[in-house]
Amino acid sequence: MIECWTRSALAAIGLLVASVPGVAQDDFDDAPVSLSLQVTTDPSTIECRKLETVNPASLMFLPLRRTFNEDFDEHPLSSGRWIPHYSGGAAWPEARYWGGDGSDFKRKTSANGEQQIYVDPRYAGRATTPLGLDPFKVKDGVLSIVASRTPPDLKPVLFNNEYISGILTTQGTFSQKHGYFEIRAKIPVGHSVWPAFWMLADDGGWPPEVDVLEGRGERPGDMVMTTHWRIPSTQKIQSCGFDFAVGDASSAFHNYGVLWEEDRLVYFIDRRPVSDIKVPIGFDDPMYMIVNLAIGSKFFVGVDPVDAETPQTVAFEIDRISAYQIDMEQAQR
C-alpha cells in the first residue's frame, strides 16, 4: 500500500491475472478457534510463483490456533484494539494525532498521491475541537469504511483533501511473527478507489511490507497480492506479486489471507493457495495489520487521481479480520 517503491520496482512485479474458481461461501463465514490450512511443502527455492497447478503430493494441512479475531459486532474504536491513524515515532506527541498543523502526516500516505484524509470522531484537523467525522459504520456484524467527498466548508480545515475516509491499524495493540492473517470482505470498485488489507513491521521500518489484498478500483474483479522487501547491498526496493480475477469480489464476501512461515509466504483466496514466495531478507520483526480505503493514486495501476467520475461515496465492507499462529504441538504430532 505504501507505493513509493513503484517506479523502481514495477519490473519486478508479476502483473499476471489468474482466475479463482468459485467456492461455496458458507465454508468461510467464521474464524474457528482451530484451523487446518492446506499449504505447499515443496522446497521454497522459487523466489515468486503463481500456483496455477499444484502437485497434490506437495500439499499438507498445517494446524493453526486463533490469536486475534474481530467480527465487527460493535464500533471498531470501542474496544481499544484498533487505531484510526498511522502511529509510531517516539518524538511524535500524542496530541498531534488528533489535530493541528501537520497532523495530516499520520493520516495519509502523501507519496502515493492519495487524495483522502483518514478521519475519526476525535480528529480536529486544523480546527480547535473534534469535527465528529466518523467513516466507520457497523450493521449486522459488517464494518463499512466509508469514503466520501469532503464537505466544501471543511476542506480548509482538512488540509484541502478531496475525500475523507478511514484507516484501522493494530500497531501497538497486536502484532505477530509468523502465522496466518485473513480478511473476509467485499472489494469496492470505482474510479480512484483503492481498498487494502496489509501488514508492516512493528518496529516502524519499511519495507518489509505484505499486501494481502489491494483492489484496483477501475478494474472490477481484479485484485493484487504483493510482497515488498529491500536488498541490503543496494538499498533498492524489490517487489513481487500477482493479480487475481475474482469475478464477484465487489458483490460477495471472500476470504483473502497470507500465511507467513519461516521459509515462505503463501497467499490464499478462500483458503486456497494461489501464490507463494521464499521469505525475503528483512522479515525479522512481528508485523501488525492495516485495513483502509484510499482514494486516488499517482502510481498504482488501476487507481487514477480523483476526477468527476470518482464516486461521491463508496464503502469497503469487512465482515471479519482474523489472525492465527502455527500450532507447533499439533504440527509435530
* 52 is known as an active-site residue: no
* 209 is known as an active-site residue: yes
Does residue 208 have a cis bond before it (omega within 30 degrees)?
yes
Q: Which residues contact 22 (CB under 8 A, 6 or more apart)?
A: 247, 248
Cell matching residue 254: 471472500
Nearest to 277 by CA among 222, 237, 226, 331: 226
Centre a 10 Å sphere on the Cβ of residue 112 and count the other Cβ atoms it contains: 20
Give per-residue pLDDT as tens, 42-55: 876 667 999 988 78
Give per-residue pLDDT as tens, 142-158: 999 999 999 999 999 99
Grade residue 11 by pLDDT with cuts at 50, 70 and 90: very low
Does the pLDDT at position 20 exceed 60?
no
Strands (E) located in the chain = 17-19, 34-40, 49-50, 59-70, 116-118, 136-139, 142-149, 163-165, 167-169, 179-185, 193-201, 209-215, 222-230, 237-245, 254-260, 264-269, 272-278, 287-295, 313-326
Q: Check: CB of residue 180 under 8 Å from CB of residue 324.
A: yes
CA distance 167 to 106: 11
Nearest to 64 by CA among 212, 260, 210, 226: 260
CA distance 279 to 74: 36
In the numeric block, the cell 490469536 is attached to 67
Grade residue 18 by pLDDT with cuts at 50, 70 and 90: low
Q: Which of 214, 218, 262, 309 is catalytic?
A: 214
Query: Parallel, antiparallel, or unpaired for β 179-185 and 193-201?
Result: unpaired
pLDDT of amino acid 42:
81
pLDDT of amino acid 45:
64
* Low-confidence winner among 5-14, 133-142, 224-233 (lowest mean pLDDT): 5-14
Mean pLDDT of the chain: 90
Q: Check: CB of residue 244 under 8 Å from CB of residue 225.
A: yes
pLDDT of amino acid 59:
86
> Residue range 45-69: average pLDDT?
88
* Low-confidence winner among 31-45, 105-119, 154-168, 283-297 (lowest mean pLDDT): 31-45
CA distance 320 to 25: 14
Give per-residue pLDDT as tens, 244-291: 999 999 999 999 999 999 999 999 999 999 999 999 999 999 999 999
CATH of region 34-87+104-332: 2.60.120.200
> Residue range 91-102: average pLDDT?
90
Q: Which of 52, 209, 218, 261 is catalytic?
A: 209
Can you state the percent helix, strand and coil of the chain, rounding each to 5? 10, 40, 50
pLDDT of amino acid 86:
94
Q: Check: CB of residue 158 under 8 Å from CB of residue 164.
A: yes
pLDDT of amino acid 17:
54
Does the pLDDT at position 7 exceed 90?
no
Give the rounded percent of residues in the chain with a pLDDT score beyond 90.
Answer: 79
pLDDT of amino acid 114:
97
